[in-house]
Structure 1
Amino acid sequence: MRLIKLKEVMAKTSLGHSSIYKFIAEGTFPKQVSLGAKSVAWVESEVDDWIMERIGERGEADVVT
């Protein structure tokens, strides 16, 4: 298991800081893990799973007409 910081989450998802935190608040993006005072990270596999779900939704959207 690997933890990644916000910059890497942003690079992997192509989302900005505010969008990531908005999706977390909506319950649609993996929550961050507290590493201590003012330090958080994300579980990389959870972020990867979220990306794969978005890709899967794209395929489903193409089928539904």
Structure 2
Amino acid sequence: MAATIKPQTTPRQGCEFLNVKQLANRYGVHPATIHRWVKEGNFSKPIKLGENCTRWALSDVEAWEQSQREAC
């Protein structure tokens, strides 16, 4: 009998992704604000994982947060 492979349920370190709703909740803004920030070049660019799947790498978001802290 062939062994079955269980899907990975927790992301590997450095491979975590956030969707726009999670980002909006993280910063207390509307999802459209996140998209506006990206369009204006004031936020990290998203990654297209599929035709209808856009995510932001957590590591990119955390790097952006650090740059905002340093700018203060």
TM-score clears 0.5: yes
* Alignment partner, residue 48 of structure 1: 62
Q: Which has the higher helix share?
A: 1
Counterpart CA distance in 2 for 1:37 and 1:23 is 21
Mapped partners of 1:24, 1:9: distance in 2: 12
Q: What do residues 11-49 of structure 1 show as CA deviations (whole Å, max 9, x unaligned)?
A: 222232121111111112111111112111000011111
Would you say the 8 A contact 2:23–2:31 is kept in 1?
Answer: no
The 5-angstrom pairing of residues 1-65 of structure 1 reads 1=14, 2-58=16-72
Runs (5+) with no aligned partner, structure 2:
1-13
Q: Which has the larger radius of gyration?
A: 2
Distance in 1 between the 2:65 and 2:28 partners? 10
Question: Normalising to structure 1: TM-score of the pair?
Answer: 0.72
Report sequence identity in percent.
Answer: 21
Query: Which protein, 1 or 2, shows the higher relative CO under an 8 Å CA cutoff with sep ≥ 6?
Result: 1
Q: Tell me, which stretches of 5 or more residues in structure 1 are unaligned?
A: 59-65
CA RMSD of aligned residues (A): 1.4
